[in-house]
A and B are shown apart, each in its own frame.
Chain A
Amino acid sequence: MAEDIQKFLHTFSALADLGQEIADTSEFNEMASTSLHLVLGTLAIMRGAIGEYQPEYGSIRLIAKRNLDKNLPTELLLDYFENRELCEMGITTVVAEESESKVLDFVTNNNEWLNDAKIELVMPLVVRGRLIGVILLGEKASGENYTDQDKAVLSSMARHIGVGLQERRQREELERRTREIKHLYDGLRAIYRDTVRAFAAAIDCKDKYTQGHSDRVGKYCEIIARELGWEEEEVEGIMIAGYLHDVGKLAVERNIINAPYRINAQESSELNKHPMVGFEILSPIRHPYADIPQAARSHHERIDGRGYPEGLKGDEIPIGAKIVTVADSFDAMTTDRPYRRRRSLEEVLEDFQRNTGKQFDPRVVVAFFRAMLKEITNSNVEKRFRRLLGRDYMNTDTLAMKLQNLITEIEGHKTAVAA
């Protein structure tokens, strides 16, 4: 009687441990290994294995094994009919001996392997009518035969293990697919970015004096957005907007774009159509980022309302367009044009000082020059401006002070206006 109670407690404790293991978040092979331990330890079975059914290969692959000959193959064949037969049996135990009235085809066909492995019981793991795998068990340490009570305990454990294995396999499959989709998505985004940059290069090719302009504007936009603390997705979006902001120039006559003189009013009117044309080109495209067409449309707007094409004011202009405006103007001033040499950085700063609050949004200007200030005062910051502008251009002793003054003045003005 005392032995019965002890047996009951030992079995009950094993079932509780199995339940915990299945509810746990351990990975597939870990769960299989622990489950096998629990099955073997409950009835003190000398050896055993858990096999996973692989429908694509028509086989059972051993995923956990204990005390089996290392030289035995780790896969057993299982054809369609054997699968059906195992499924129809549900959770049960089958003695792998010829003396049994019903011997499964699976047992007959793998008889040599099962004998070599000293396997006595084959327990199908079936969940909702589908074969998940099998548990293969050797002899009991006691040398006694399996009783009906033993088989009932094993059946109960097998049911839990089947569900646990299926759940983990599905979860792993889901994670694998998620990783795959993410990989594909990243690949598509990379293709999109490369295409956009190639397109930007094509835009710039039309203007022999501004080669690389769109690329640089995209990079300046990225710097500003990062300094403003934007999320990675938004940073990427504004960078793309920078690359594509001049796409409308594709519709402008090449001789107007490349005119080696200040263009006249009619030519200027033609050129000034490019933001709207750009918007029309970009609008039908389903960009993965917001406001790219709008940034192209409004990058020549001014916050005082004197810009074009719509004369928008202040907050009527999207923030993305305001960023592109600053980046675009900065690049225009810091590169050679057909009718003038590029300006010195001091002159550029003075221009921004004069026009912030009129042409440019103060928040954007401050972010832009704060990023530049960080670069020249902190050796650990990536030298992006230096790469874009050239080392000599940035080599001015008083640049840090001038940048700091500009930032302080704009921020002071902002505070005064707000008050």
Chain B
Amino acid sequence: MTNPSVSKDVYSTRKGKVAIVYATDYLNKNSGEKVEYECQRHLSSGYKGLVISFRETKIVNSIGVSILLGIIESAKNSGSQVVFSEANQQTISLFEMLGLTKHVKVAVDENEALRVATDEEKSLG
């Protein structure tokens, strides 16, 4: 079942026991806070698998990184797994350079992300 939840530009869906949050083309303070809000909403609803899709994302700035770290920390505290999906090469390089990839799984597309998140959810559950 899919429950699209739209907040202007950032939106999210739920596929099975996994929530997917779609970031915008530029992950800065404004859009980052919306991503964080959506993620927190799903985490507090008990979702153990959380995919953040960077399908549309071209740039992630420092504030965006800080917000993602907050999401990672919240997910850890609630025993959930975060999967970054469909990030472009530049964004993946940034995440690797800064060490974010040590805390999340990275998937090349949404199917893989869902699979990883579901596997993780099962292992955590």
A interface residues (Cβ-Cβ under 8 A, vs B): 2-3, 6-7, 10, 13-14, 17, 34, 36-38, 40-47, 66-67, 140-144
Once the chains are docked, how many angstroms separate the CA of A42 from the CA of B98? 9
> Which of B66, B90, B103 lies in contact with A37, CB distance below 8 A?
B66
- What are 27 A-B pairs with beta-carbon distances under 8 A? A2-B93, A6-B93, A6-B94, A7-B97, A10-B94, A13-B61, A14-B62, A17-B61, A17-B62, A17-B63, A37-B62, A41-B61, A41-B62, A41-B63, A41-B65, A44-B100, A46-B69, A66-B69, A66-B70, A67-B73, A140-B99, A141-B72, A141-B98, A141-B99, A143-B99, A143-B102, A144-B99
A-B pairs, 10 with minimum CB distance:
A142-B99, A41-B62, A44-B98, A41-B66, A41-B65, A14-B62, A141-B99, A40-B66, A37-B66, A37-B63
Provide the B63-107 mask, 1 if CB < 8 A to any CB of A, else 0. Answer: 111110110110000000000000000100110011110110000
B98–A142 CB distance below 8 A? yes
Beyond the given A13-B61, A41-B69, could you list 19 further A-B residue pairs with CB under 8 A, ordered by the A residue number? Answer: A6-B90, A13-B62, A14-B61, A17-B62, A34-B29, A36-B66, A37-B66, A40-B62, A40-B66, A41-B63, A42-B62, A42-B65, A43-B98, A44-B69, A45-B69, A67-B69, A141-B69, A141-B100, A143-B102
Looking at the assembled complex, report how far the CB atom of A145 sits from the nearest CB atom of chain B, in whole angstroms: 12
A34–B63 CB distance below 8 A? yes
Provide the B43-63 mask, 1 if CB < 8 A to any CB of A, else 0. Answer: 000000000000000000111
Residues of A within 8 A of B64 (CB): 41
Provide the B93-125 mask, 1 if CB < 8 A to any CB of A, else 0. Answer: 110011110110000000000000000000000
Once the chains are docked, how many angstroms separate the CA of A45 from the CA of B72? 12
> Which of A6, A10, A140 lies in contact with B62, CB distance below 8 A?
A10
Looking at the assembled complex, report how far the CB atom of A253 sits from the nearest CB atom of chain B, in whole angstroms: 78
Once the chains are docked, how many angstroms separate the CA of A40 from the CA of B93? 18
A67–B70 CB distance below 8 A? yes
Known contacts A34-B29, A41-B69: A3-B62 contact under CB 8 Å: no
Q: Which residue of A lies closest to B28 (CB)?
A: A17
Residues of A within 8 A of B73 (CB): 46-47, 67
Once the chains are docked, how many angstroms separate the CA of A36 from the CA of B65? 12
Residues of A within 8 A of B29 (CB): 34, 37
Residues of B within 8 A of A7 (CB): 97
Q: Which residue of B lies closest to A18 (CB)?
A: B62
B63–A44 CB distance below 8 A? no
Residues of B within 8 A of A37 (CB): 29, 62-63, 66-67
B interface residues (Cβ-Cβ under 8 A, vs A): 29, 61-67, 69-70, 72-73, 90, 93-94, 97-100, 102-103
Known contacts A141-B98, A141-B99, A141-B100: A66-B62 contact under CB 8 Å: no
Looking at the assembled complex, report how far the CB atom of B80 sits from the nearest CB atom of chain A, in whole angstroms: 15
Known contacts A3-B93, A6-B93, A141-B102: A44-B65 contact under CB 8 Å: yes
Looking at the assembled complex, report how far the CB atom of A181 sits from the nearest CB atom of chain B, in whole angstroms: 36
Looking at the assembled complex, report how far the CB atom of A140 sits from the nearest CB atom of chain B, in whole angstroms: 6
Once the chains are docked, how many angstroms separate the CA of A43 from the CA of B70? 14
Residues of A within 8 A of B90 (CB): 6
Residues of A within 8 A of B62 (CB): 10, 13-14, 17, 37-38, 40-42
Looking at the assembled complex, report how far the CB atom of A71 sits from the nearest CB atom of chain B, in whole angstroms: 13
Looking at the assembled complex, report how far the CB atom of B60 sits from the nearest CB atom of chain A, in whole angstroms: 9
Residues of B within 8 A of A46 (CB): 69, 73
Once the chains are docked, how many angstroms separate the CA of A46 from the CA of B97? 14
Known contacts A47-B73, A143-B102, A144-B99: A66-B66 contact under CB 8 Å: yes
Once the chains are docked, how many angstroms separate the CA of A144 from the CA of B29? 26
Once the chains are docked, how many angstroms separate the CA of A245 from the CA of B70? 70
Residues of A within 8 A of B99 (CB): 44, 140-144
Once the chains are docked, how many angstroms separate the CA of A137 from the CA of B8? 33
Once the chains are docked, how many angstroms separate the CA of A40 from the CA of B69? 9
Residues of B within 8 A of A44 (CB): 65, 69, 98-100
Residues of A within 8 A of B61 (CB): 13-14, 17, 41
Once the chains are docked, how many angstroms separate the CA of A38 from the CA of B67? 10
Residues of B within 8 A of A10 (CB): 62, 94, 97-98
Once the chains are docked, how many angstroms separate the CA of A40 from the CA of B68? 11
Once the chains are docked, how many angstroms separate the CA of A326 from the CA of B69? 75
Residues of B within 8 A of A142 (CB): 98-99, 102
Looking at the assembled complex, report how far the CB atom of A133 sits from the nearest CB atom of chain B, in whole angstroms: 19
Q: Which residue of A lies closest to B97 (CB)?
A: A3
Q: Which residue of A lies closest to B63 (CB)?
A: A37
Residues of B within 8 A of A36 (CB): 66
Q: Which of A10, A44, A140 has the most chain B CB atoms inside 10 A of its CB?
A: A44
